[in-house]
Structure 1
Amino acid sequence: MATKQLKIQFCEFIPTEIEEGTLYISMEFATASHKCACGCGQEVVTPFTPTDWKLTYDGESVSLSPSIGNWSYQCRSHYFIKNSKIVWAGNMSQKAIDAGRFHDQLNKNRHYKQHDTSMEETQNKDGRQDKPNEKRAGIFKSIARFFGF
């Protein structure tokens, strides 16, 4: 049965068994997970990163953007989560899906390449080599590796 509204559950870890109709949100791991809104039972994972999903919480409800397109699942469902409700979106052609994936990959490459350059050494006034953003870049690299980039 298709889901119309999601119950919100903040948690440290996403449970092994997730219930239909519940959006589990782990701020610690910057991830949300739920069962596909079409009712097919597939688990949908939405990582929060600068190049993936954004979470908005207004104290009562949650919105995720951009839309969720389950193109790898047999159901190929496409929807938004707005104010904890499922808002169905139209079907997309394979050409449109491929273009979206290509655009997403370009954004990821651009974003993470930009952060990789912060690892470059800079020379200070004394002629010593500094790595001012090494720790920060290391965090971004770890996140990128975690999500398979």
Structure 2
Amino acid sequence: MSIKSLTPQFVEHFPERLKPGELYLAMEFATAAHLCACGCGNKVITPFSPTDWQMSFDGETVSLKPSIGNWTFKCRSHYWVRSGRIEWAGNMSQEAINAGRRRDAEAKARQPGRPSGEDIRQPETQTPSLLGKFKKWLRF
């Protein structure tokens, strides 16, 4: 059963079990977590940074940008979180996904304080998990 909206829950730590329809925001860690909007039950982690996601809170609802593309999940869901509502986006080709990943890696490499000489290229067939992205972001 797909999720139509996400209710913000500001937390110090993410709960062990996420509930459908809840968007957990751990501001100390600049990260949000929720269950995939398609209903598959996968955890979606969205770190906040200039080169990852941005979060806005209007006092009642949360918006995230850019869209959330769960390309490593079997469901391959793709959606926006706008004012707490899930707005479904279209599927993307693997070529478009790879191009987006390259742009993201290049943007991260341009961030001040980034170690020089780090290889930012990823093999086009490699699909990092969200947990892997989160761990990499924490090291950054």
Q: Please give the range of the TM-score, normalised by the shorter of the 2 chains.
A: 0.7 to 0.9
**Aligned residue number for residue 48 of structure 1:** 48
Q: Which runs of 4+ in 1 moved over 6 A?
A: none
Which among 128, 132, 147 is matched to residue 138 of structure 2?
147
- 1:9-53, Cα deviation, whole Å (9 max, x unpaired): 000101111001100001011100000000000000000112100
| Alpha-carbon distance change, 106 to 146 in structure 1, aligned in 2, over 3 angstroms | closer
**Residue 102 of structure 1 pairs with residue 68 of structure 2:** no
State the TM-score, normalizing by the size of structure 2.
0.82
**Aligned residue number for residue 128 of structure 2:** none
CA contact 2:47–2:137 (8 Å) conserved in 1:
no
Which among 105, 113, 116 is matched to residue 115 of structure 1?
113
Bigger Cα Rg: 1
For structure 2, the 5+ residue unaligned runs are 116-133
Structure showing greater relative contact order (alpha-carbon pairs closer than 8 Å, 6 or more residues apart): 2
CA contact 2:25–2:33 (8 Å) conserved in 1:
yes
RMSD: 1.8
CA distance in 1, matches of 2:19, 2:64: 19
**1:1-149 to 2 correspondences below 5 Å:** 1-111=1-111, 114-116=112-114, 146-149=137-140
Give the count of matched residue pairs. Answer: 122
Structure showing the higher helix proportion among its residues: 1
For structure 1, the 5+ residue unaligned runs are 118-142
CA distance in 1, matches of 2:90, 2:54: 21
